[in-house]
Structure formats: structure tokens, C-alpha cells
Chains A and B, each alone.
Chain A
Amino acid sequence: AAGVIQSPRHLIKEKRETATLKCYPIPRHDTVYWYQQGPGQDPQFLISFYEKMQSDKGSIPDRFSAQQFSDYHSELNMSSLELGDSALYFCASSFQPGGHYGYTFGSGTRLTVV
């Protein structure tokens, strides 16, 4: 069965650089969620989209922006990277918000800022 695809799997960037993370949801899933998991921490919700509109927002820094495209894939853009942005970034998808029919998480993108 198709899963949530995240790319790239690993990314190394220098401070003050920009990074773009991509998430491709399961076919027919219209809702995408982004989470950040720092070293030794539990995942923290960043932002979510439903039908290409932002549906909820968490503790996402102003330096980050995200959007969902017409094919439902989503991109998380991170600018002026800081060392503290080093983390595992997860994307999840569901059919409609709330995940009544279940959520599926991707394997994550590991971002290292040096």
C-alpha cells in the first residue's frame, strides 16, 4: 500500500541557509500535518492543511512557512536556519481533518543544521 512519502530523507544545511521539505500524502488524503521532533523530545505540532487551506497552526516559527498544492502535496519552507532547527520533521496525512479514518505518518526528514 502507498504510504506518506517525505523528501529528502536527510538534509544538512548551514546556519542562515534555507531548506525545503516535501510531503506527498497517501492518494485521496486531503489533509496534511507537519510535526517537529527535536533530539530526545516528543513530536510538536507545527501546522496543518485541509483542501489547500491552512486548518490549524501550532508552534511554528515565523521563519517557517508551508503550503499545500493542488495535488495535495505539501512543502515546508524554512529560512534563516538556526542550530536549534536540527530535528526530525514528520508529515502525516488523513482523509479529512480529525483522522476519523486514520492517520498515516511518513518516515520523516532529518534536518541537521551546522
Chain B
Amino acid sequence: KQEVTQIPAALSVPEGENLVLNCSFTDSAIYNLQWFRQDPGKGLTSLLLIQSSQREQTSGRLNASLDKSSGRSTLYIAASQPGDSATYLCAVSLWDSWGKFQFGAGTQVVVTP
């Protein structure tokens, strides 16, 4: 059974610092991995989708890397802003269950002005 772990569970940084969020998974036979942002009581906003054949994806200040062999993905957010405060979730899908995401518990981020 795929297990997804996100460390740390919570993170507080001053504005302007770079954020590094970690996600690890136990089964390397993933189909893809996706990073989401969730604001309190709100829905999921997709940030980056990395296919199993890719090593990283970038969008603006966001960069996500994928290392299947070590079962890890890292989300980097450059020059953090208070508006980046949210919970960030990582989710993986396996080759034999496309689209059935297994989510991590998330990292709650607070960026202080």
C-alpha cells in the first residue's frame, strides 16, 4: 500500500525566504505526482503535475522535483509572500490505479510579513 509522508507538518518563515517542502512515498511505481495548495475550508488548487518520466516541473516561483528511485519529491517556493500561506498537499497515483491519488497529510505554511 502506497504511503505518502510530508515533512514538516508545519512551517513558519518570514516573507522573502525560500520554502522547501518535502514529500516521500513508499512505492516507486508511480504514474504521476501532483502538488496542491489548499486554503482553510477551501478546495484544492493544482500547482504542479509531474509525470513519472519527468524529473522536475516549474511554474513561476514554484519548482517541483521528483526522484522516483529515492521515493521523494520536493516543492520549492522562491521568495515567499504572505499570500503563500496555506496547506500544501502532495499526492501520488500508481500505474495500476490511474487517477486514484494517495494524498499526504500536508504541510501547513505560514509566511509572516
Contacts and interface: CB of A to CB of B under 8 A. Distances in A.
A98 B31 contact: yes
B29 interface: no
Given A90-B44, A105-B44, A107-B43, A100 B101 contact: no
B92 to A, nearest CB: 12
B42 A58 contact: no
A43 B99 contact: no
B103 A33 contact: no
A100 B51 contact: yes
B103 A48 contact: no
A103 B100 contact: no
Interface residues of B, number: 25
A90 B100 contact: no
Interface residues of A, number: 28
Interface in A27-59: 31, 33, 35, 41-45, 48, 55-56, 58
A51 to B, nearest CB: 13
B59 interface: no
A100 B41 CA distance: 28
A92 B98 CA distance: 13
B101 A106 contact: no
A98 B43 contact: no
Interface centre among B43, B103, B106 (most CB of A within 10 A): B43
A33 B104 contact: no
Nearest to A98: B98
A102 B46 contact: yes
A58 B106 CA distance: 20
Interface centre among A56, A105, A106 (most CB of B within 10 A): A105
B54 to A, nearest CB: 11
A101 B25 CA distance: 22
B101 A98 contact: no
A68 interface: no
Q: Which 3 A-B pairs have the closest CB atoms?
A: A98-B98, A107-B43, A42-B103
